[in-house]
Homo-oligomer: A and B are copies of this chain.
Amino acid sequence: MGSAPPHDALLPLDPKTFAAESRPVIDFLSGYYRDVDKYAVRSAAAEPGRIRTLLPDTPPEHGDPVDVILEDVRRHIVPELTHWQSPNFFAYFPMNASTAGFAGEMLSTGLNVVPFAWAASPAATELEGVVVDWMCKLVGLPDRFLFSGGGGGVLHGSTCEAVVCTLAAARDRALSRLGHEAILRLVVYASDQSHSTFQKGARIIGIPPSNFRVIPTSAASGYGLTADSVQGVVEADVASGLVPLYLCATIGTTGVGAVDPVRQLGEVTRRHGMWLHVDAAYAGSALICPEFQDCIDGAELADSVSMNPHKWFLTNMDCCCLWVASPALLTSALSSNPEYLNNVSEGGADQVIDYKDWQIALSRPFRAMKLWVVLRRYGAAGMRAYIRRHVEMAKWFERTVSADERFEVVTPRRFSLVAFRLRPRHEGDHHAVDAMNRKLLVAINASGRVFMTHFVVDNKFVVRMAVGGAMTQMRHVQDAWELVKEKAKEVGALPTE
């Protein structure tokens, strides 16, 4: 390591320096993983503006050695992180890190190639095509989403990017027929359980905010959309001269893990010439297990499907698979061919994929390497076992909560997310029970021993226990339950034991 390099001889990729300065970072992270369960999952130290007071106002004029920088990370940064890799992190959805995902990201970051066009890095483009096909088969999607089936996939950074791109493709297909003025008449549909990404995405691509429909769901359908409700809203819009454009169906909603019926919804969207997108951001990982694949029955009626390996598939941030049935619709909305990207020496340009035309940005990282290393290192069988282990933990949690009469599970668990709450003791104490559940969650998180988040469904405040951390074992889930019971007592729920 030693001191900062002299300025006139900065050798940023000297192989020996690279190895010598990278090893201590590996050791630092290895130590972090060893100790992460000892930190409060959400920092108690963090307060707005504090880090700014700890760091200088301007960048240093002269460089510091790596060990000094790592010591600052240890002292100033780590204590104020929320520890997403803690085995006791049950908030939001998991964001898995893994040894293989990290190795893949190291290779991608180290090679640092930019596969925006085939010629700009053939192997990176080709590997991406291979790996999205692998994932397509693994999650049980129909052949129409494979390159060999006329479709194809791409790796984005986020579902929101996938949504913006597919919305733009759907919009431009419609406007090429109707003229650009029709943008004012296009309507996008989602359920009251869909991710906020769809509303944001519709707004980004210029759909009038008043043309975004939020279709209510209910307990009767497990908070999934029904074909009838969609059909009703769509027909009303058609009757008023609007143009139904795009429906989002979700497999595993963020709030409670609900599943929309893809086949029935696909029949509605087909009838009205709409684009159907299936968002399986979280639960897409579970689809690699055949016992969950009934959830995507009817996917052949969809125009696009997305899922995030960076959530529950051991692929470090960020990585989102998007598959489309018709790549030409995507590329006709997103392609650009400036002169500085044309390649003078290249023949057969029409045989190759230029992934810049499948996404928003031109520059893009070599994400395929990361997902490929995960699949190679753990194998399909390893990944299925990994998913099933979390599902078993969630089943145990669901069963245990249900068996305690103070609590209720709000809607049946589908994957590894359990939405539960303290149940009302009598009719009519709706506000009181919400307030008590709110207090319960605050108390749980204030302990620092776990981190959970909440949702509001049917006007009920529910606590979300999202199992799926890379380090989470059954004992962590059991400890979480002990903590829930302890805090329930503290906030005044009557003991039953």
Bitwise, A443-472 to B at CB < 8 A (1) or not (0) is 001100000011110000000100000110
* A154 lies within 8 A of chain B by Cβ: no
Is there contact, CB below 8 Å, between B5 and A382? yes
Is there contact, CB below 8 Å, between A82 and B113? yes
Is there contact, CB below 8 Å, between B58 and A85? no
Is there contact, CB below 8 Å, between A99 and B17? yes
* A241 lies within 8 A of chain B by Cβ: no
Q: For A317, give the chain B residue with the smallest CB separation.
A: B365
Residues of chain B within 8 A of A441, CB atoms compared: 344-345
Residues of chain B within 8 A of A399, CB atoms compared: none
Q: Quick check: which of A199-207, A223-231, A480-488 contacts chain B, the rest being far away? A: A199-207
Bitwise, A191-205 to B at CB < 8 A (1) or not (0) is 000011101100111
* A266 lies within 8 A of chain B by Cβ: no
Is there contact, CB below 8 Å, between B97 and A112? yes
* A254 lies within 8 A of chain B by Cβ: yes
* A118 lies within 8 A of chain B by Cβ: yes
Is there contact, CB below 8 Å, between B123 and A80? yes
Residues of chain B within 8 A of A103, CB atoms compared: 21-22, 25, 66, 69
Question: How many residues of A are counted as interface, with CB atoms below 8 angstroms from the partner's CB atoms?
Answer: 175
Contact among B112, B137, B385 with A317 in the assembled complex (CB-CB below 8 Å): B112
Rounded to whole Å, the gap between the CB of A162 and the closest CB of chain B is: 10
Is there contact, CB below 8 Å, between A12 and B184? no
Is there contact, CB below 8 Å, between B81 and A124? yes
Rounded to whole Å, the gap between the CB of A148 and the closest CB of chain B is: 9
- Asked if A360 meets B17 with Cβ closer than 8 Å, knowing A55-B130, A205-B204, the reply is no
Residues of chain B within 8 A of A158, CB atoms compared: 360-364
Residues of chain B within 8 A of A21, CB atoms compared: 99-100, 103
Q: For A8, give the chain B residue with the smallest CB separation.
A: B385
Q: Quick check: which of A46-54, A299-307, A322-330, A420-428 contacts chain B, the rest being far away? A: A46-54
Is there contact, CB below 8 Å, between A61 and B130? no
Is there contact, CB below 8 Å, between A134 and B59? yes
Is there contact, CB below 8 Å, between B106 and A106? yes
* A377 lies within 8 A of chain B by Cβ: yes
- Asked if A199 meets B336 with Cβ closer than 8 Å, knowing A10-B378, A109-B316, A441-B344, the reply is yes
Copies assembled: 2
* A142 lies within 8 A of chain B by Cβ: no
Residues of chain B within 8 A of A59, CB atoms compared: 134-135, 137-138, 375-376, 379-380
Q: From residue 360 to 374 of chain A, which have CB atoms closer than 8 A to chain B?
A: 360-366, 369, 373
Is there contact, CB below 8 Å, between B26 and A317? no
- Asked if A113 meets B83 with Cβ closer than 8 Å, knowing A310-B363, A471-B13, the reply is yes
Rounded to whole Å, the gap between the CB of A138 and the closest CB of chain B is: 6
Is there contact, CB below 8 Å, between B81 and A196? no
Rounded to whole Å, the gap between the CB of A228 and the closest CB of chain B is: 25
Residues of chain B within 8 A of A48, CB atoms compared: 118, 122, 126, 348, 351-352
- Asked if A29 meets B110 with Cβ closer than 8 Å, knowing A98-B12, A196-B336, the reply is yes
Is there contact, CB below 8 Å, between A22 and B92? no
Q: For A208, give the chain B residue with the smallest CB separation.
A: B180
Rounded to whole Å, the gap between the CB of A214 and the closest CB of chain B is: 11
* A177 lies within 8 A of chain B by Cβ: no
Contact among B27, B160, B365 with A362 in the assembled complex (CB-CB below 8 Å): B160
Bitwise, A165-181 to B at CB < 8 A (1) or not (0) is 00010010000000011
Residues of chain B within 8 A of A100, CB atoms compared: 12, 21
Rounded to whole Å, the gap between the CB of A241 and the closest CB of chain B is: 15
Is there contact, CB below 8 Å, between A15 and B43? no
Bitwise, A99-120 to B at CB < 8 A (1) or not (0) is 1111101110111111000111
The 7 closest A-B pairs by CB, nearest first: A206-B206, A158-B361, A46-B122, A12-B98, A80-B123, A51-B126, A7-B385
13 contacts between A and B (CB under 8 A): A10-B386, A12-B98, A22-B102, A32-B110, A51-B127, A52-B129, A60-B380, A69-B376, A81-B113, A92-B341, A102-B106, A205-B205, A206-B206
